[in-house]
Structure formats: C-alpha cells, structure tokens
C-alpha cells in the first residue's frame, strides 16, 4: 500500500512541479539502509545535469543542447530541459552521492539510522 501511495505522490509532484510525458524514465529502488535512484538520461553531457536536494525533495534537471545550427529534415531531439522531482522522508542529507555512466545517472540516498532510545531513571519527589 505504501509503495502505491508513494508512486502516486511522485506522479502528482511531477505533474505540478516538473516532469512531462517527454521526461526521462526513473527507477527508485529501496535497499537495506538506502534508496537508489537510477535515471536514464542518454545523450546528455554530465555537465548539463544538475542534481539538488532541498526540503526533502530530490530534483534532477537535465538539458540537451545542440551546438551547431543546422537545417533539419526531421527534428525530434531539440534543445530541451527535463526535470523530475521526488520527495523523500528522513534521510542522511550529507550522504547523498551521484554517478553518471553510460547515460544512466545513479543517485544513492542513505536513510537516517533510527535513534536508540536512552533509558532514563526519573526521580520521584
């Protein structure tokens, strides 16, 4: 049930905050202690991809740029900016890492470790 609600929330976020039918596909995998976000962004230079995290939201923005002016007969791969946003709860914000290889952006997000409750003795007055 949680996965379905999580997916619905992310779909709504993409509708209202970025992401269209022409955006890039993403897989989010939950592993022990972390999330793995794999975004398929082929044909985009690493320098044209921006990954940010703010207010528990991961934003991936990619820009495709053509360097030359050409006369196209068919032009389906135009200069476009794509953006996807995903909300995450309690995570270790300082532990985010990203790697881009063979057109796949891989972001690792470590979950916050649960705090151990300390036993307290309460003085009775």
Q: Residue 98: inside a domain, yes or no?
A: yes
Q: Residue 115: inside a domain, yes or no?
A: no
Give the residue numbers spanning the domain of 34: 2-69+78-110
% pLDDT > 70, the chain: 73
Give the containing element (helix H, strand E) for 7: helix 2-17
Q: Residue 20: inside a domain, yes or no?
A: yes
**Number of domains composing the chain:** 1
The per-residue pLDDT for range 37-51, each reduced to its tens digit, is 999 998 899 999 999
Handedness of CA 44, 51, 98, 20 (dihedral sign): negative
Q: Residue 59: inside a domain, yes or no?
A: yes
Beta-carbon contacts of 22 under 8 Å, excluding residues fewer than 6 positions away, are: 80, 82
Please give the model's pTM, rounded to 2 decimal places. Answer: 0.69
% pLDDT > 90, the chain: 39
């Amino acid at each position: 049930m949680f996965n379905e609600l999580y997916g619905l929330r992310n779909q709504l976020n993409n509708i209202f905050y970025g992401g269209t039918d022409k955006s890039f596909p993403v897989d989010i995998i939950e592993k022990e202690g972390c999330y793995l976000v794999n975004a398929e962004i082929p044909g985009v230079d690493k320098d044209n991809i921006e990954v940010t995290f703010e207010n528990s939201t991961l934003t991936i923005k990619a820009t495709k740029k053509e360097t030359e002016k050409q006369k196209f007969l068919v032009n389906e791969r135009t200069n476009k900016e794509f953006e996807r946003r995903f909300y995450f709860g309690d995570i270790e914000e300082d532990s985010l890492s990203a790697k881009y290889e063979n057109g796949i952006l891989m972001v690792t997000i470590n979950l916050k470790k649960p705090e151990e409750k300390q036993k307290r003795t309460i003085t009775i007055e």
